[in-house]
Structure 1
């Protein structure tokens, strides 16, 4: 039996608006009331899927993903929602499903409050109405996003600290969670870092001392104190580094200044952010108790400026991230200075430990990997297969990039068609001039954004093709044999899982390909 899927969604934006009609309970009651009046729907198996607290700007929602899987498995006969915005607030995404996917899969779509039932439309003005409502939902969602950000900015400007975690050296006041008070345990470490730096110890030297004495890093301390789980590189979180010391030295919170609005979104509803110039940051002085005097902080900043060196941008080494120390399991950091080499990060940051020094020169590890790779290929006798797999993987990357570009171009063509229909509707007297002009402005804005995205994607495809061609230059095919002349980053990522290194140039390679 085909299923009638009731899809319900409530987002944080709905909480902001305090719109009771959008609650999951009210959506459910409205839809069930509608089903009871429709004989065809009453005969179907009713399935309910819900996403509570998810934005409608993308389809990455648990309930939505389950719904799409049911559609793919051809188990859905009808989808019913309160209105279009519950399904999606992305105009282009909604249009793709209503006009292409649902008709192809034979799925009926009903949006009750929009008076839309796909069974009643086979083209015409109904689709124009839906398209324009989609545009309104899209811009409404962006407007809400801006309102939420403005709300947070106002709270910060009022001096309310609303971040999940306090700065290292402080805790949130139990009496007012938006205020900061000194954390005596961590404040000692903050003051020590500033004092030692002012005494002439480098950031690297301070990190070494802290590691030698077993002082907890910020991540480990927060995990113990607040139950916060260390994110990202767990091993790196366990050790103080030059960068973690520098973050303390550059933090204005320690002179009692609350700093906010450091970042700005590159575009509305995007997760991408860019760092603003420090002059544009918001600041509230004497916001909380200082740990460092302004005089000492200013002196540290002058010392930091004087010690900064011009760091030449170095190309990422082909084996970066693949080497581990056989003695302790820590990753091995790469250094381009002197004889380029890999060194265990544990001994680099904690020279006082009993851990034996463990390092290997670039040329030695590259030579070894090339030699063993060549031997493995000859032993396994799968040269042609290996090359074919790489070519296939490379081609898939290019095809995926081209598909994304084609999808953008298709959306642009669809946008042009919608613009023409909107104009024809206006000329026929179906829509007023004011409505048409609003539609025209919206279409032009979306067209400009799509054109920009298409150009970015076209450049990305060209860059990818060039990179893959450069990578292929490291492999030669002679008869039925493959010769690897040099290692490339792409080759390493595809073939090498991990390289474990012990003192005395002893190494072990774990490959990504399986033995016969």
Structure 2
């Protein structure tokens, strides 16, 4: 039976809108297809001309920031569409306030008719009194789903499962368990080198400059190289490695084998605003994966991770930065005073910032501390020729060695896998031609193998960069030891790299009256020497 189409119905230019979020279950594309079939059938039965179809696959109904929806609104504003059809009200959205604004205010103001097929909702008819309640029910469903998802994620975090979208720099996700981290043999080398340099006393800024000189990709750059589909902003203006990025790596417990999550949270399920969570409420689970550095190295290097700045006017650099602390309140001591060492003092930062409520006004002359530390180190370091060479060998361990067997093995493994993937892709094309593999399956497998090839190429490039460091020879190490010791004896100011090699921290205690001479006061200076470097063997 042929249905007669009225002139009024024929004037409608319909937009079929379909939406499905990840929260609605699996099989998004199939469900979008089901919605499309239903809406096309409905439009055909009622004689509506279909102007366009708009599908948001994988977008939540709690927000209207969706590409297809924005395109639909643009067509409404241009007068191209005067009828919107969805499967039900929840496909339009699950925010009852905004959804009500569209159905009760926006559509009528634009002369647009709206139909939700399964809910029997039609703005042309009068029986729509229950629609606002339906919108509230839809939002309650979204709110309940959000709570369940948050609860499930919280449980996984407390169990130590990694739930981030991307693995931290230096790691990769386990192919067999996406919530477990495996060490990335390429970027882990960079992370380990950063910790070793920080442990030797190199500043975050100098480490960042070195990585930039070697053209080693930043964490964001490496991630973008692996995932070509990512469209990160400010790519052209990327600054490269910075001291802040180095400090962030040095302070991240993930490199000691721990999982730290729950640092931020969204304001609500309807908002994209992110709130920072207090540190004491973070979810920390220790020893969940293989560490890149030992816990001892992590803790010691972390204390050296303070970004040190030099005044552009005075060019003064504090050699004790990150080493000197107030013995009373345990806060760092900072420099103040003139442009020359003799004019500067180290003062308690607690008193400097907060006054008597935090600590007392005590300080030590910068030059005096230099003299004290130099004398102490000179008295302790009296080396024979054999001991000097022994120390040189220990320093040499920090250097990169030219023919590292691990580097060769990693390069050979990558090359072997690349050839294997080439063979697999060739066989895959043959299976497609012979119709052994269906087209849909073929493209999925091809995309997967091509992605792995890109990752292998990125790892190979990074491997070449990290193995290009200059090997420190034994002769150069001996020369460095001689230079450091000579500087210690000849100069009143200790060499920063020598300080970081031997001293863990220096504590300055509040000045007190001398019991024997009441008119004089004295300071207590405690020098805490470092234990044996992590991983080193006793002679």
Establish whether residue 9 from structure 1 lines up as the match of residue 19 from structure 2.
yes
Matches of 2:43 and 2:227 in 1, distance apart?
A: 49
- CA distance in 2 between counterparts of 1:49 and 1:15 reads 20
Change (3 A) 1:50 1:172: closer
| Structure of greater relative contact order (alpha carbons < 8 Å, 6+ residues apart) | 2
1:28 alignment partner, one of 36, 46, 51: 36
1:43 and 1:219 map into 2 onto residues whose CA distance is: 49
1:78 equivalent in alignment to 2:78: no
Whichever of the two has the greater Rg, that structure is 2
List runs of 5+ in structure 1 lacking aligned partners. Answer: 312-334, 340-516
Residue number in structure 1 paired with 2:488: none
Contact 1:83 1:112 in 2 (8 A): yes
**Offset from partner CA, 1:437-459 (integer Å, 9 cap, x none):** xxxxxxxxxxxxxxxxxxxxxxx
Aligned counterpart for 2:68 among listed residues 47, 53, 63: 63
What's the offset of the Cα at 1:180? 1.8
CA shift, 1:217, in A, is 2.6
Classify 1:215/1:94 alpha carbon distance in 2 versus 1 (closer, same or farther; 3 Å): closer
Mapping for residues 5-404 of structure 1, pairs under 5 Å: 5-15=15-25, 23-35=31-43, 37=45, 41-42=46-47, 44-45=49-50, 47-121=52-126, 126-224=127-225, 227=228, 231-234=232-235, 237=238, 239-304=240-305, 307=306, 338=313
Contact 1:8–1:50 under 8 Å retained in 2: yes
* Structure 2 unaligned regions, length at least 5: 1-10, 315-539
Alignment RMSD (CA, Å): 3.2
Measured after TM superposition, the shift of residue 164 of structure 1 is 3.1
Q: Counterparts of 1:76 and 1:247 in 2: how far apart (Å)?
A: 51
TM-score w.r.t. length of structure 2: 0.50
Q: What SS does the aligned partner of 2:137 have?
A: helix
Tell me if the contact between 1:217 and 1:237 (Cα under 8 Å) persists in the aligned partners: no
| In 2: Cα distance, 1:89 partner to 1:81 partner | 13
The DSSP-based 3-state class of the residue aligned with 2:233 is coil
Q: Deviations over 1:238-296 (max 9, x none)?
A: 62210111011011011111112121222333222122222211122111111222222
- TM-score, normalization by structure 1: 0.53
Q: Structure 1 CA distance, aligned partners of 2:72 and 2:49?
A: 16
In structure 1, distance between residues paired with 2:253 and 2:230: 25
- Which SS does the other structure have where 2:16 is aligned? strand
> Residue 130 of structure 2: SS of its match in structure 1?
helix
Contact 1:7–1:50 (CA<8 Å) still a contact in 2? yes
After superposition, the Cα gap between the structure-2 partners of 1:26 and 1:182, relative to the gap in structure 1 and judged at 3 Å, is closer
CA contact (8 A) 1:145 1:269 kept: no
Hey, what's the Cα distance between the residues in 2 that align with 1:43 and 1:189? 62
Q: Is the CA contact 1:222–1:228 (under 8 Å) kept in the aligned structure 2?
A: no
**Contact 2:22–2:28 (Cα < 8 Å) also in 1:** no
Superposed CA offset, 1:126-147 (max 9, x none):
4542122222222322222232
Partner-residue secondary structure (3-state), 2:216? coil
1:3 to partner: Cα distance: 0.8
Q: 1:235 to 1:193 in 2, by over 3 A?
A: farther
